[in-house]
Amino acid sequence: MRPVDLIVIGGSAGSLQVILALLAEMQALSMPLLIVLHRNGGFESTLEGLFATRTNLPIKEVEEKDILQPGTIYLCPADYHVLLEKDHTFSLDYSERVNYSRPSIDVTFRSAADVYGPGLVCVLLSGGNADGTEGLLYVKAKGGYTIAEDPATAEVPYMPQQAVSRKTVDVVVPTEDLPGFVEALSRYGIPG
């Protein structure tokens, strides 16, 4: 087993219930966890509050130059790409949309892989576009560990199916098993 330094979860349409179940499972974390969720700006304040009802861990929407803290769950703000810097701080970027999305899962996965390499775990959930697939390829190239929600059980299978068909994932996990699987990774580390 090798240690996990950061977990990044990317999701879009159909992923909210999986994220809520995962948060309920996460009662202790020795590393930060970052959630990249496609959403519109009007939903942002209620989302942070909703997440806080599912876990006793601190939930924080990312702000420019925040330092990643172990045991904290971070939520990407609506309408900004979120980048990670070598000094383990966040940067917010308002450049063009990637895969029709801002925040883009691809952008955050790539940025996290440059900083965390083999200590990175990235999880791609349900969604209706191909965001995340290129990012997972990059994460794998940097030695990170990649997971996709099983398209057969995902509410909107397109996004994880793109990743699975491109062979970008180390493991495909059924929806109902994802919370326990990610919690076990956070507790015990990456297999192999």
Tokens of 114: 């440059």
Start-to-end CA span in the chain (Å): 6
What 3-state DSSP class applies to 153? coil
- Token duo for residue 147: 């997971």
Rounded Cα distance between 123 and 104, Å, is 14
The encoded tokens of residue 132 equal: 């995340």
Residue 12 appears among annotated catalytic residues: yes
Q: Which two tokens stand for residue 149?
A: 């929600």
Choice among 111, 131, 150, 186 that is catalytic = 131
Active site residue 131: yes
Of the residues 5, 15, 38, 106, only one is catalytic, namely: 38
Active site residue 177: no
Q: Which of 12, 15, 111, 186 is catalytic?
A: 12
45, 166 Cβ separation under 8 angstroms:
no
Query: Could you tell me if 136 and 147 are in contact, meaning their C-beta atoms sit under 8 angstroms apart?
Result: no
- What the block records as the tokens of 171 is 């493991």
Given the structure tokens 């997972």, which residue do they identify?
A: 136
Catalytically active residues are: 12, 38, 131
